[in-house]
Amino acid sequence: SQTIHQWPATLVQPVGSPLSLECTVEGTSNPNLYWYRQAAGRGLQLLFYSVGIGQISSEVPQNLSASRPQDRQFILSSKKLLLSDSGFYLCAGRREDRNEQFFGPGTRLTVL
Amino acid sequence: AQTVTQSQPEMSVQEAETVTLSCTYDTSESDYYLFWYKQPPSRQMILVIRQEAYKQQNATENRFSVNFQKAAKSFSLKISDSQLGDAAMYFCAYMSYGQNFVFGPGTRLSVLP
């Protein structure tokens, strides 16, 4: 079965510090991958998606970036975090055979 | 652009009762998929049920069923025999071929003992 792993689970960072969140996928090859952000009690905001290695599309201009160095690895980064970057970050993959999205457990980021 | 609307920010239901969550969407496509996802307090997103637009029959998964009205662009979720574990945020989502998922803003469901 297809599974997404994310780490860390929780992160507290000071304003202006760098960020690296990692997402890895098991059980499928060449999946479409997605980064979402969710503010407390709110819906999902699509940040980036990738259809393959090195291919990144940005949905929202901001100080975050994404990279896909390997087929099953998707990384969310920032050079300098802002207070507004706080939130819950979800990585998702797409099951092409059923046109569904499956999600990782998420990373709770607090920027102080 | 496609949009998904969930007009009920919060709902509550008595344990063992039935509740219906509403979802409407806007699209000009004829072929697409609709989904309901559940996000419990752990915040892990879990697929509850899916519906292909070309299928007239409403999807069912145990206590969960949908009322899909294609012409009205409506996709409601019915939860029967509600259980305490059903308490969660519920997100309606839309996807058409070659497009990304579009999620609604969510409905927070409380289950009262």
Residue at B113 is within a domain: no
Residue at B43 is within a domain: yes
Q: Between the CA of residue A75 and those of A34, B103, B112, what are the distances in Å?
A: 10, 22, 40
Residue at B57 is within a domain: yes
Euclidean distance between CA atoms A21 and A6, whole angstroms = 8
pLDDT tens digits, residue range A74-108? 999 999 999 999 999 999 998 877 788 999 999 99
Residue at B83 is within a domain: yes
Question: Kind of pairing, strands A73-78 and A64-70?
Answer: antiparallel
Boundaries of domain holding B91 = 3-108
Euclidean distance between CA atoms B106 and B33, whole angstroms = 18
Interface test with B, best of A3, A44, A90 (most B CBs within 10 A): A44
pLDDT tens digits, residue range A1-11? 889 999 999 99
A3-111 fold: Immunoglobulin-like (2.60.40)
pLDDT tens digits, residue range B28-65? 999 999 999 999 999 999 999 999 999 989 999 999 99
- Give the mean pLDDT of B68-75: 96
Residue A24 has pLDDT above 90, yes or no: yes
Most confident by average pLDDT, A39-48, A59-68, B7-16: B7-16
CA distance B81 to chain A (A): 25
Q: Which residue in A34, A42, A106 is closest to B43 by CB distance?
A: A106
Phi, psi at A54, each rounded to 5°: 75, 0
Residue at B79 is within a domain: yes
Q: If you compute the radius of gyration of chain A from its CA atoms, what whole number of angstroms results?
A: 13
Q: Which residue in B33, B43, B46 is closest to A88 by CB distance?
A: B43
| CATH number of the domain that residue B47 is part of | 2.60.40.10
Structural domains counted in chain B? 1
CA distance A101 to chain B (A): 8
Structure confidence at residue A61 as a pLDDT band (50, 70, 90)? low
Residue at B37 is within a domain: yes
